[in-house]
Amino acid sequence: MKVSTIRDLSALIRHQRRKLGWDQQTLAERAGVSRYWVIDVENGKPGAGVALVLRTLRALGLSVDVTESQSPSKAADKPSKARSHRPSADDLIKAALERPK
C-alpha cells in the first residue's frame, strides 16, 4: 500500500488492526499510547506525533519504507528568504527508531 497522506496512513493502521482482530484498546496497550490517540490517528488527525505513529506501526508488525517520489512537491520549489534546515523524513524515522522504548 502506498502511503502519501495522513488519510492513507490512518486507513493502513485501521486495516491492519482489524486484520489482527484487535480493538482500539488492544492496539493502544501494545503501542504504549492511549485509546484516544488511536482514535485520533485512525480519524486522520494531523497532530499525531511521528514517534508515536512509528511505535504504533511496529506494534502492528509494520515498517516504513520511504522512497523518493517521481514528482517533488511544488512547495519544495518555492524560494524562501530564510530557509532553515529541516530534518528529512529519514532523519525523523531514524531518530524515532533509536529512542529507548
Residue 71 lies in a domain: no
Rounded to a whole number of angstroms, the CA Rg of the chain reads: 15
Contact 34, 27 (CB under 8 A): no
Note down the domain range covering 57.
1-10+34-65+89-101
Residue 84 lies in a domain: no
Residues counted in the chain = 101
Residue 58 lies in a domain: yes
Q: Tell me: the pLDDT tens digits for 52-99?
A: 887 888 888 888 776 656 665 554 454 444 444 555 666 666 666 665
* Domains in the chain, number: 1
Residue 53 lies in a domain: yes
Residue 60 lies in a domain: yes
pLDDT for position 82: 46
| Confidence category of residue 42, pLDDT binned at 50, 70, 90 | very high
| Confidence category of residue 19, pLDDT binned at 50, 70, 90 | very high
Q: What is the pTM for the complete model shown?
A: 0.58
| Confidence category of residue 38, pLDDT binned at 50, 70, 90 | very high
Residue 15 lies in a domain: no
pLDDT for position 55: 81
